[in-house]
Amino acid sequence: MVDWPNRRFVEMIGCEHPIVQAPMANAGGADLCIASIEGGALGSLPCAMLTSDQMREQVAEVRSRVAGPLNLNFFCHRMPEQADDTAWRALLQPYYEEFGLETPPPPPLRLPFDEAACAVVEQEKPEVVSFHFGLPEQPLLERVRATGALGLATATTVQEARWLAGRGVDAIIAQGFEAGGHTGRFLGGDRAEAIGLFALLPQIVDAVSVPVIAAGGIADGRGIAAAFMLGASAVQMGTAYLSCPESLLPDGARAVLASRPTLMTNIYSGGLARAVRGRLIDEIGPIRTEAPPYPMGGGASGPLFRTALQRGDFDFMPMLAGQAAPLGAALPAAELTRKLAADALAILAGRA
């Protein structure tokens, strides 16, 4: 065995390795995407917090520096009409006082895929577009398809995978409970029912005919090999890339990532996301009903995290990361990508 047991993803996408560098807003930009593509992965640009101009600039930078398939990632949540965050701001007020912050203008929030974003896709023609929290409305989805882009979307349950497959996505990202960042759950939502990747992946593989990309808890070659045994055609890895020099996290943050347990919290954005513990979670708890719905919760908590980051106080905020953070190797992203693929192939071939 000298090749991947399943080549459906690499043949569909045209990348060298069946690895998707996960889009991570605030943590990875064009540099990480470019280096991942250089290493042979499908590189991703997280677009949910970018303006149309910023998207175009980042795509142009990627295209000028590397050849290879590019994924633009968007969120498909519905923006709440209005969100009363009075109680949430009151809860956080002592931290505003500690940090000497006035109540600042709200920070940029993650926006759903819309007319403007669709226009960027039509102009820039990425090879791949991926969606989180379901899919955009049908007319927008058809416009994306008309560009020739392949469409990926995230499922956290078998029901969601069937829903996505029925709407014609080209591949499904099976996101296990272990994954860092926002859980993509969009149908139903009792968080107590969250499913681990070991159980979720084969059930989704059995339920749909499109290729399945395994995500959550995979940070080394062993995890990639295991995902293929469970029927995956590729893996999506985020936390493993957080320790690359191309990530946007400052150095001090990486030591925190590898040494602290993670849990699901809504204090980051109002939506459920896996993050490492930090002082704020220790003091107010990981789940607060006062936080307005996703993404509005970030309006009051975001400025605190930004200030803490600027001060090098990495302890304060919940940093988004998955359960495999301690497994990550701190290598440049191109080298990391090549090593991940080589290690997985060696394990699959029984040579490691």
Binding site for a copy of itself (CB under 8 A): 1, 5, 158, 176-178, 190, 192-193, 195-200, 202-203, 206, 216-220, 222-223, 225-231, 261-264, 286, 322-324, 326-327, 347-348, 350
SS3 276: strand
Residue 317 in tokens: 């905020």
* CB-based contact 150:127 (threshold 8 Å): yes
- The 10 Å CB-count burial string (b at 16+, else e) for 58-82 is bbebbeeebebbbbbbbbbbeeeee
Q: DSSP for 132-200, please give it.
A: ESS---HHHHHHHHHTT-EEEEEESSHHHHHHHHHTT-SEEEEE-TT-SEE----S---GGG---HHHH
**CA 252/CA 231 separation, integer angstroms:** 37
* CB-based contact 334:36 (threshold 8 Å): yes
What is the amino acid identity at position 130?
Answer: S
Output the CA–CA distances (angstroms, integers) from residue 346 to 238, 340, 342, in the order listed: 22, 10, 6
CA-based nearest residue to 47, from 117, 140, 149, 146: 117
**CA 348/CA 244 separation, integer angstroms:** 25
Strand-strand pairing, 150-155 and 262-265: unpaired
**CA 136/CA 145 separation, integer angstroms:** 12
Residues making up the chain, counted from first to last: 352
- 248 DSSP 8-state letter: S
What is the amino acid identity at position 110?
Answer: R
